[in-house]
Structure formats: C-alpha cells, structure tokens
Amino acid sequence: MDNSDTNTPTTAEAEVAHDFPGLIRVFTDGRIQRFKGTDVVPPSTPTTHPVSSKDVNLNPHSTLSARLFLPTPPSTTTNHRRRLPLLVYFHGGGFCTSSPFTSTYHHYIAAVAAEAKLVAVSVQYRLAPEHPIPAAYEDSWAALQWVASHRSNAGPEPWLNENVDFGRVFLAGDSAGANIVHNLTMLLGDPDWDIGMDILGVCLVHPYFWGSVPLGSETMDLDRRAFVNRLWPFVCPELPDNDDPRINPVGEGSPSLAWLGCRRVLICVAEKDVLKERGWIYYSSLSRSGWIGVVEIKETQGEGHVFHLHDLASDKAQDLIKSLARFFNRDQPPSI
C-alpha cells in the first residue's frame, strides 16, 4: 500500500510537496511517508474478544479486499443457528492512510462485532495520493455490491451465506470512513443505484465533513482548521473545492438529505473534535430535510477526534462501543 517508510529522507535535494504532520508527507521526488496506519497484523491475531476473522479478496481482477469478523461460537437456538446483523465498516485516515489490517482497526472491529454480536466486513479501499478521490468511493461501492451478492445466501463467502440476516444490514465508519458511508447511502436512495439490498441503518462516527466557511468552534483553532482546509484538495485534486457536496453535504447546491437510503442514523461527535460542528449541522439538517427515518446524535465530552481508537479499554471508548451495539440491535422502528 505504501511506497515508502517513515524514515528520514535519503535524497538531500528532495523537498516537501505536501505535509500533514502526524498523517502523511509527500516529497517532490515522489516518495511518500505515512506516519500512521501502516502496520499490518494477520487475521489470526488474538484479541480479547470471542471472534474469528479472515481476509477475503472481493474482486479477482483487483486488490479490493476486506477483513471479516464472526462472533464465536455463532449464536444458536435449540434447533438452529440464529442469523446475525451485518455491519459493513469503512475505516478512517483522511482518505490517505490506514486499512482494516492495522492492529488498531483489527482490535476495534473485533470489539464491536463481539459486543453487538454481528458479522462485520471491514473494507479496504485505495488511498490518495496514489489513488485520489473518487477511488475510495468506487472501491467502497464495489465492496457493497459484493456484500449484496450474498443476499440470497448464494454468494462466494460462506460466512455471509450461513450467518447473516440480510434484513438487518448496517453501514458504519469513522472520519473519512463516515464520509464514505454518507455518500454511499445517498446513492442507495436513488432507484437508479439499487443493489437489491436494503440498508437498515448507518452510523457516522466523527464524520469528516467540511466547508469553506468556518462554523462555530472551528474559528477558535486556526491551526487545525488550516490542516483540514488543505486535506480535501490534497486527496481530491481534480475537484479541490471544500464545498464539494461529497465533503459538504449540507452546502448550497448539495442534494437533499431526504434522499438518504436508510431508515435509521446515529451520528457520534466528540467535544474537542474540530469536526464536531459539522456533525451537529448534519444532524439538524437531516432532521429538517423531510427524510423518513429516525436520527439520533451522541456527543462524548472531553475527547477529541477518534479518541476511541487510541485506547479501546478506556471507559469512554467502551461507552461508545456499547452505544453502537445498542444501535445495531435495537428493534426496528415501525413502518411509516
């Protein structure tokens, strides 16, 4: 995935073309340094949770792949195995770092699968700058189509055929992954993009939404705002506008959120996250849009962006995971 490591430059004349401290650095000679999300652990890596995991290739003609998680032993009744909800998860990392195969996401998704007692498909998508937007969206859509190919229990992956209740499919992601979830769900609300599989709910954790005009607390931290201002043009150089509807879904000219193709939405924000304001605005805009569904929001006090990934054992991370599990297992709302 990376074409360089995080060592110091060896070419004296190389200059920095793009620098996002703590995330990624690109040099004029083409080398790329990623400062997070570069480690890879095998699916057999033990966790503290009773789940099995394995890696699967989703397209024999590409590198599109995912890590699957299955609670062990599968939930059973006296006569037969109970089918489980399905979570399709998209990792964060600013569209330019990380993967499902890092220790961080391996342990996090294992924890969610165990707590919520669901099957999880954690999707790998191509990263910028080698593969700028829309590559991440294209790969994520292809992964969703692969999942939908199992809806009649006749797809290529036995874990999905044998264990999933396709009436209870959820999408979730954090940061850039939450952005992907929003954009996929908008497509799913359009009959022309029907994949033959309904999405019951989506969860947006600290979603990466932005805009050219600062809002609320965004005006108080100029350094962090400057960092985020530069990120979308870096990962999407062909359309570098921070008011692009894909990054600013409530901006002027963006499609109505009433088209969102699911019935339930949970938005999670963190008090000290520079992206918090955008999560709240998304919540209020969706509530007023005429969308037929149930939306809720959870704010974690005293914490910053994706805090839960840094210490899964902390009380607040555990509280967030339990909130996700409750959302995935809540009784379906009545038809409207």
Neighbours of 161 (CB within 10 A): 14
Question: Within a 13 Å sphere around the CA of 112, how many CA atoms are in the beta-carbon half?
Answer: 30
Q: Please give the backbone phi and psi of residue 253, each rounded to the nearest 5 degrees, phi first.
A: 90, -5
Contact 173, 240 (CB under 8 A): no
SS3 122: strand
Residue pair 299/307 in contact (Cβ under 8 Å)? The answer is: no
User: Does residue 175 carry a catalytic annotation?
Assistant: yes
CA distance 251 to 242: 10
Number of C-beta neighbours around residue 42 at 10 A: 11
Orientation angle between helical segments 176-188 and 135-148, nearest 10 degrees? 60
> Catalytic pick from 152, 175, 289, 335?
175
Q: Which of 84, 268, 100, 233 is nearest to 167 (CA)?
A: 84
The H-or-E segment that residue 202 falls in is strand 201-205
Considering only CA atoms, give the Rg of the chain.
19
- Catalytic residue numbers read 175
